[in-house]
Structure 1
Amino acid sequence: MSLTASSVHDVVRSLDWPHAPELVLPPPEAARLVGVLGEGATRWVAGAVEQAIEEARGAGGSDLMAPWDRVRWRLQRTIADCLVRMVAGDVSTVPDGTSRDAVVIQDIVGRDVDLPTLTALVRTLQHALLQLFLVHALRRPEGAAAASQGVHILTSALDGWVDDLIVDVVAERQRALESTHTRRRAVVQALLAGNAVDTGAASTLLGVPLAGWHVACVVGAAVGSTVESSSVARVAASLVRAVGGGTVLQHESSTGQVALWVCAERPGRAPEPAGLEIPPPLVVGVGRACSGPSGLRRTYVEASDAMRLARRSATSPLRYADVALAATLNQDEERARWYVEHTLGDLAGPDHDMVTLRATLRAFFATRMRVAPTAELLFLHRNTLISRLDRVERLLGHRVSERTAEVQAAPAQRATRRLSGCTHRVEPATRSSPQSAAHVPLPSSLGRRRRSSPHHRSDAGVAIQRPERRRSRLRVARSSSSSAAAAGSTSTPGGH
């Protein structure tokens, strides 16, 4: 054995990875690797591949539905084969065809993942694996020669994998041009682009009544998470139940988001968030019921906007009907930030008091500006609520009722988006008002739960009667100057 071959052999046999995950290769193949490479190098294969996948998902991980289990299996087999050949002194390239995987190829073609994205992903995997091997090899005295040969073998193997993928994807796309799946996908994409289609032919191809009613649900997840097909199926089934029946149409984007429509001849029920089954880490937005081919696009756009807000506010599911104004304002991030800063002023601040006051204001609007129901919702005494609303008006510089639309929109928009240029945290998760379908994000410390008896105790501990549910008027906020003037006109020296 030459000096270089001996160095490569020693470096490979010295590889190890503490607490590595299990190999996903078949047991006989894994046992053979242990016999050839040793337990340490076998653990290194599993650990290095797992770290490379995590880096790839972090760098270009917007593809939430990539078949990572198949990628993991393929990479483990490829890297293990490279190490076996290093130990044996074989520097030949991977035999043609050994790196092909029909499942991965069909997934890439089926979801229309573009080749530049695919190539960048594989290059990220390749870079991570090469770096891990080089770092280990160069730590050993004899590692320089081993590093050179290892890089040659690993690069050849992974380049072969990329070449095979590109060739097979191009061939599969040519074959799929006439397939039903591709034609269905093209029709959905045309509808989402707002293009005219033959309604009858499209309904037959898609298997749904395109001229009927549609409710869309867009499913996503946080960056770094994955969307499992079984989880999407659970969301679809719960959406059908919530709407009251219909046929499901599913469309998967190249970035891993999944659009679901429940289509029926007649309009169904508006789905309640509590009736939807959303397995973590999924994030879901739901559109309103819309009719016809244009309605299929409209409810999808609404659901997409709601899903983006749900992802930013950590609140899922969100219905577009509950956040329509905030969704509209959030289309332009910079202008939305300007709007909030101009409308709320100091009330837009990140400190706890401002968060509490904004949540109080949202609850006030959610209960149609009625004091008693708002106090009930927030578990506050009526006077405490009025005091907070007075403070809100002093911060705004005008009565809440004077600019209702603007003041109602700004806190809702502030709660559902982390604006660029702001260091404020996204405000807490939502709780629904019994008087309104609108979502009201409330801090956990906003109010204290009162007893269920007809009487309760205020913060001072004095027993008072629970307020009746009746319309109340908000006191007019006095400016500092008017307060001083009033005090001067009513007070006398030594008076009480």
Structure 2
Amino acid sequence: MTSTAAATLVKVADSVLAELPRLVARLVGEVSAELPALAPDAQVMELLESTVRENLVTALSVLGGTARPVDVGAPPVALEFARRLAQRRVPITAMLRAYRLGQAAFQQEMISRIAREPVQAADVAVAATELSHVAFTYIDKISEEVVEAYQLERDTWLRHRNAARLAKVQAALSGKPIDLAEVEKTLGYALSDRHVGAVLWCGPELDENARLTTLERHAALLAGVLGATPLVVAPDASTVWAWFPTAAVDLDAVSAALAGSPEPVRVALGDPASGLPGFRATHQQARQAEAVAQMTERTQPRAVTAAAQLGPLALVAADPAGVAGWVQSVLGALADDDEAHQRMRETVWAYLSSGSSLMVAAQELHLHKNTIQYRLRKAEQERGRPLAEGRIDVEVALLACRLLGSAVLRAVD
């Protein structure tokens, strides 16, 4: 940089510093107008103003030659502002956008003043280039520091907030007497509503630091489908419990929404239920659905498992390891895991679920009645006794085969 260009930068930096309140007001006005979430009240507005002022003073000290770029860092007030935004859950993108807006306005002010200086055009160009370099380097460095402060505060604040909310949720689930109004105030959620409980979890293939963020994002995705703002808590680093204030769930819509996600997130849903007892019941159902879904995670993973799909299979959650033995004892060889026995099982299921109607089963499977009869006879032979013997057990065992697949079937060479 030429000596003339350097002197021009020093002169312009001093002139801006002398009129700092005007530039601060301009930048704060532009930022708060475009990003109102950054200054929702007087207290945060004061932090924003102080952040803008201190950043300008620091940047001008570099341009004025009183400080070196490598020696400056984010002003303490800028770090405090970042932490405050994290506490208020203002997106980090909004904070970074504010810094880019400030950089653009600052450079515009400086360049307009440089252009008015009585120096050669070449020196103006050199000074403007140096200004851009310094401004970019400064903002790039400061951005890293405020992002680090933001993320650290967000993680700490969310852990504390989640711990407090989780304690209240566990108290509500315990069945012990609680102060309903006080719990609702802490949770920001009406326990007297009608709810649908959900459990969201993910496997070890996701990075540990990204799991909760991913699960919270999927809870928000479900909220969009269900049209309800949920209560969300994290009992551990790989699981989220959620309650949605809604009276019904469109499983097809939920499944379609999750199908578009690239992350391996699983969801278990309870049935809609009302009030504090319903808050507990729908959560318990979601936990049961989670236990059943995890039985098939390796062999037959599914994005969504609903308690409404399980029927009596919800009871297997108490002893998932014993289900396979029971299914195989009820069905005999009909529980063999191969294509021929699968066709027989589907035929028996269609027949029994239709009220033992050959006509209805044939229509459902698009087969002739004689084919249905033949498969039923083969199924009884494979089972070793009539299908009517222990019919309820047969239906439940077939339901287990349909939902749990290889997890309950007998492996066949």
**TM-score relative to the length of structure 1:** 0.45
- Unaligned segments of structure 2, at least 5 residues: 1-147
3-state DSSP of counterpart to 2:250: coil
| Equivalent residue, structure 2, for 1:306 | 289
Matched, 1:215 2:196: yes
Per-residue deviation, 1:358: 2.1
How far did residue 300 of structure 1 move? 1.4
In the alignment, what sits opposite 1:273?
A: 252
| SS of 1:194 mapped into structure 2 | coil
Counterpart in 2 of 1:320? 307
Deviation at 1:392, TM superposition (A): 1.5
In the TM superposition, what is the alpha-carbon distance from 1:207 to its structure 2 partner?
1.6
The question of whether the paired residues in 2 share the 8 Å contact of 1:333 and 1:420 is answered with no
Partner of 1:206: 187
1:336 maps to 2:318: no
Q: Deviations over 1:246-273 (max 9, x none)?
A: 4311112214112221125xxx224323
For the 8 Å contact 2:327–2:408, the answer to whether it is kept is no
Query: 148, 160, 166: which one pairs with 1:185?
Result: 166
Q: 1:307 & 1:273 partners in 2: Cα distance?
A: 18
Measure, in 2, the Cα distance between the counterparts of 1:303 and 1:272: 14
The offset of 1:420, in angstroms, is: 7.9
Do the aligned partners of residues 354 and 366 (structure 1) sit closer, same or farther apart at CA in structure 2, a change above 3 Å counting?
same
- 1:323 is displaced (CA, Å) by 0.7
What's the CA shift for 1:239?
4.8
Displacement of 1:422 after TM fit?
7.0
- Alignment of structure 1 residues 23-102 onto 2, 5 Å: none
Alpha carbons 1:286, 1:302 under 8 Å: kept:
yes
1:443-482 map, 5 Å? none
235 and 109 in structure 1: CA distance in 2 versus 1, 3 angstrom threshold: closer
Q: 2:205 matched to which residue of 1?
A: 224
Structure-1 residue corresponding to 2:393: 406
| 5+ long unaligned stretches in structure 1 | 1-99, 112-175, 426-496
Q: Deviations over 1:91-129 (max 9, x none)?
A: xxxxxxxxx988468647845xxxxxxxxxxxxxxxxxx
What amino acid is the match of 1:297? R
1:59 maps to which residue?
none
- Superposed displacement of residue 387, structure 1: 1.8
1:259 corresponds in structure 2 to: 241
Report the CA distance between 1:409 and its aligned residue: 1.0
- Give the SS at the match of 1:314: coil
1:374 and 1:225, CA in 2 relative to 1: closer, same or farther beyond 3 A?
farther
1:382 Cα shift?
3.0
Give 1:317 deviation, angstroms.
Answer: 1.5
Report the Cα offset of residue 354 of structure 1. Answer: 1.7
Q: 2:266 corresponds to which residue?
A: 283
Q: Does residue 356 in structure 1 map to residue 335 in structure 2? A: no
Instruction: State the SS of the aligned residue for 1:247.
Output: coil
Identity among equivalent pairs (%): 24
1:205, 1:359 → 2: CA distance?
50
Distance 2:373 2:242 in 1: 44
The letter for the 2-side match of 1:283 is R
Q: Residues 421 and 310 of structure 1: is their aligned pair in 2 closer, same or farther, counting only changes over 3 Å?
A: closer
* Separation of aligned partners in 2, 1:417 and 1:197: 38
State the AA in 1 paired with 2:187: L
Indicate the SS of the match to 1:219: strand
Distance in 1, matches of 2:201 and 2:354, equals 31
**CA 1:330–1:201: 2 relative to 1, 3 Å:** closer
Residue identity opposite 1:183 in structure 2: A
Distance in 2 of aligned mates of 1:107 and 1:374: 56
Give the secondary-structure state (helix, strand or coil) at the position aligned to 1:400. Answer: coil
Q: How many residues align?
A: 254
Deviation at 1:366, TM superposition (A): 4.3
For the pair shown, the structure with the greater C-alpha radius of gyration is: 2
Task: Give the number of the structure whose residues are more often helix, by fraction.
Answer: 2
> 1:392 and 1:290 mapped to 2: Cα distance?
40
Tell me the equivalent position of 1:345: 332
CA contact (8 A) 2:325 2:408 kept: no
Question: After the TM superposition, which residues 233-248 of structure 1 pair with which residues of structure 2 at under 5 Å, given as runs?
Answer: 233-239=217-223, 241-242=225-226, 245-248=227-230
Instruction: Measure the CA separation in 2 of the matches of 1:379 and 1:314.
Output: 28
Counterpart of 1:296 (choices 279, 283, 289) is: 279
Q: 2: distance between equivalents of 1:240 and 1:371?
A: 43
Counterpart-to-counterpart distance in 2, 1:395 and 1:207: 57
How far apart, in 2, do the equivalents of 1:223 and 1:415 lie? 27
Q: Secondary structure at the match of 2:346?
A: helix
- TM-score, normalised on structure 2? 0.53
Amino acid corresponding to residue 365 of structure 2 in structure 1: L
2:178 to 178, 183, 197: 197
- Counterpart Cα distance in 1 of 2:155 and 2:173: 22
Contact between 1:363 and 1:377, CA under 8 Å: does it hold in 2?
Answer: yes
C-alpha change, 1:303 and 1:403, in structure 2 (3 Å) is same
State the SS of the aligned residue for 2:278.
helix
Q: Contact (CA 8 Å) 1:249, 1:261: kept in 2 or not?
A: yes
Cα distance between partner residues in 2 of 1:315 and 1:421: 16
Q: Distance in 2 between matches of 1:392 and 1:351?
A: 13
**Separation in 2, partners of 1:232, 1:369:** 46
CA contact (8 A) 1:214 1:262 kept: yes
- Taking the aligned partners of 1:361 and 1:223, their CA distance within structure 2 comes to 38
